[in-house]
A and B are shown apart, each in its own frame.
Chain A
């Protein structure tokens, strides 16, 4: 029983990070139908910005997260302007290939400047644990903070999308871009804004991962990036609550698999879960079925 609780805590922390990255994938896909493979590498840049801020400037966790979010959102918008905007009316495959090259570009540019070795975060958060159930379940303060920050960011996102004018425009653009444009929505601005928010969330996830796991390297974005993509598809790509659900579900699945002795196969199992979901419900667990208009 204690073990189940402990694994639940482990799974939630892991899932929160996947969910934060998955949100960026799903938002960009929802608006322009592009799978932004460079997204995982923006998360990596976020981790390095956080590393620089905490190590060299000695900033605390919150200011580092805010600054990393700001820098990543600028980076995300710049990538959109330089790499994706000129291709907006080209076939999807061109944009997809561009996304992969942007991803490689970010990885190896970073490696050129900081070197390939792993780096460790300074101790920004003192690890202090809360023991529950006679000390058998350990709740680390870091778990709480990660899940807490993740939830706060998601609530903020939900507010932006549902309650603000910008959010309304985003929803309109995702439904039908041409119609939205005819109604006076500045689609270019909306797309920029989407990249801004998605990249900011990835930046936050980068810093959180750096603090939680204490290790970062220039290639750290590729696997979590793909996992987050899986999470987004699992929940239904293009649907915001779907990304959150998919992220937590994936974190849980991986933890459960590890818990039952399959730690080596946990990556494989996440992809098998993806295939199963796609077979049974091609639009994802929370996805809507849209009828193709003729």
Chain B
């Protein structure tokens, strides 16, 4: 046999084997198959892996307790390599070939948006636990995407909550805003904050902007200082915010600084320095220092399994697993259509990251965790419920 023939035969054999494997996997009807699409390698691998760790831990626990509807949950885990195209491929494969009842993930908003068309076309519910962009669950015309849900709050929701926190809890009435103009995330937060804060009766003295990658904020901060604000709202990512906080304190601008979950990184401390990181508050999904019963139990189990402290992504992944089980139980049978209806009707689901109710836009209404940074240490301050 010449070499070319040999190659052709080998390829054919591999194909036959692969098809054989795929079909044998789908056959078992004693399990509920769930598709998991996460960033397990690539730039966003930490998010994806941590979410998946939390999720798998929840599924394991559920199966140990007898599963859902008398069946065990079986997850089909595929890696989207932190790439939007790959995420769409993975999503299509899960929806069409793997015979799954629901799609879980991906972690980032971009990858989630890429995964959505496959879910919509095949009428399989997709739930992301961490895609915070406002428009993930919405079509361009503002109507809701029928099969898409998320369990983390929207970007703009954080802005609303921090305005309430500053006005009601800290009792401060005059704010200045310094926002990253180059990110949709920061713009969303900034807009929501300003609207809510003025509605509450507060005054936004000035709104300044910076661009991601800037390192010198002294001119803008000097300007803000001249207006004598009672606090600053600085939505953005830790890379610039760290420098902003440091330079603000160096210029003698010692008022509280409020922000969003973009602050959550050990780099914040490195960039800003211990002395500057006081009176800094930010909204987050979860805090390991929250000592409520459900969080304590989660932490203990997580530590026993992974030998480390769980972070927000672990917690969000864990909640995702339990929400799925809860919705399946309420749906009564393993049917994607019924599961979708059950997800829509979710009300008062108690999770580690807060109690959540799915609203008409398939976003959760849930409490926000407020973290206060003291001498560089993030500490749990309170859980804040949205005002009705």
Measured CB to CB, the residues of A under 8 A from B are 3, 6-7, 10-11, 13-14, 118, 120, 123, 127, 129, 131, 135, 138, 140, 142, 209, 213-215, 220, 223, 254-256, 258-259, 261, 263-264, 267
Contact = CB atoms under 8 A, between A and B. Distances in A.
Contact of A6 (B210, B243, B251, B275): B251
Interface of B: 181, 208-211, 213, 215-216, 218-220, 222-223, 225-226, 239, 242-243, 246, 250-252, 267, 270-271, 273, 275
A123 B250 CA distance: 14
B215 A213 contact: yes
B172 to A, nearest CB: 22
A213 B216 contact: yes
A255 to B, nearest CB: 4
Contacts of A13: 218
Given A3-B223, A11-B219, A263-B209, A131 B252 contact: yes
A223 B214 CA distance: 10
B271 A127 contact: no
Nearest to B270: A120
29 contacts: A3-B222, A3-B225, A6-B222, A6-B251, A7-B222, A10-B216, A10-B218, A10-B219, A11-B219, A14-B216, A14-B218, A129-B252, A131-B252, A138-B251, A142-B250, A209-B215, A213-B243, A215-B239, A215-B271, A223-B213, A255-B219, A258-B220, A259-B219, A259-B222, A259-B223, A263-B209, A263-B220, A264-B181, A264-B209
Given A10-B219, A213-B216, A254-B216, 8 more contacts: A3-B222, A7-B219, A10-B216, A10-B218, A129-B250, A209-B215, A223-B213, A264-B209
Given A6-B222, A10-B222, A261 B208 contact: yes
A118 B214 CA distance: 13
B250 A263 contact: no
Contacts of B216: 10, 14, 213, 254
B222 A263 contact: no
Contacts of A14: 216, 218
**Closest 4 A/B residue pairs (Cβ):** A258-B219, A120-B270, A10-B218, A213-B215
A231 to B, nearest CB: 15
